[in-house]
Amino acid sequence: MGRVARAGVRAAVLAALVVTAVVVVLVVDLPSADAVRDRVEGTGAVGLALVTLGVALALLGPVPRTALSLLLGAVLGFWAGVVASVVGAVLGGLAAFGLSRVLGREAVTRLAGPRVVAVDRALTGRGFVPLLVARVMPVPFSLTSYAAGLTGVPLGTYTAATALGVVPGSVLQVAVGASAGPLLGWATSPGGLLVEGVVVLLLVAGGVVWWRRRRSRSAPTS
C-alpha cells in the first residue's frame, strides 16, 4: 500500500471516528461542565485525586497538556484546576521518566517516535536549565519526559525542573479555561459538536486533497 493510500485510509478512519463521536454525543445524554464540577466537588479530595491521576495517565501519551489544562479550568474552576494540572503533570512526567529508564532507548523510540531522539540530544549533559526551558516552552510534554529518562539527569533535578516549569503555563491555561465556561457549554452541546465535527471532516478532506496533489506533482514523469 502506497503512502497516498495509507493517508486515505487514515483520513477515512479519522472521519469515521469523528462521525461516531458526534452521533454518540447526539444520542447519549452527556453531563454538562457544571454537572461534572458539582460531581467532583461532591466527592471532595477523592474526586480531585482521581482527576489528577487521569491527567497523569493522559500525559504518558501524546496528549497536549495545554488542552488538558484548559479543560480542567472549565470543569473544575481555577484553584482545583491548577492543582490537578500541576500535580498531574509532575506525576505523569515522573511516570514517563521512570518508564523510559526501564524500557531503554530502542523501546522508547518505538513508543514515542523518532522525535524523542532529537529532544534527547538537546537535553543530554545540560541539566536543570534546558529541562526548565523545555517545560516552559511549547515542547510536547511526553517527548521531553521520555527523552529526559534516556539522559543521565538526576531524578531530583528532573522533578524540580518539571514542577517549576509547568506552573506558569498551568496557571495561565487553567485561568483561560475557567473564564470560558459559556464557550465550553456551547462547544459540548449537540449543535457545537456537530459544527466541530463538520469542520474536522472538511479539514481532513482538504488535507487528503492537498497531499494527493503534492504527491502527483512530485511523482517522476516518464
Where in the chain are the domains? 1-30+190-222, 40-187
Write out the H or E segment, with its range, that includes residue 75.
helix 65-76
Confidence (pLDDT) at 32: 60
pTM over 0.95: no
Give CB contacts under 8 A, 24+ apart, made by 118-127: 119/143, 119/144, 119/147, 120/147, 120/150, 120/151, 122/147, 123/147, 123/148, 123/151, 123/153, 124/150, 124/151, 124/152, 125/151, 125/152, 127/153, 127/157
Tens place of pLDDT per residue across the chain (222 aa): 555 555 556 556 656 665 665 555 555 555 666 666 777 777 888 999 999 999 999 999 888 899 899 889 988 889 999 999 999 999 999 999 999 888 877 777 776 666 666 666 667 666 788 889 889 988 889 888 988 888 878 899 999 999 999 999 999 999 988 887 666 666 656 666 666 667 767 777 777 777 777 767 665 555
> How far is it, in rounded angstroms, from Cα 89 to Cα 174?
13
> Comparing C-alpha atoms, which of 156, 157, 132 is closest to residue 144?
132
Confidence (pLDDT) at 95: 96
| Structural contact between residues 153 and 119, judged by C-beta atoms closer than 8 angstroms | no
DSSP state of 162: H
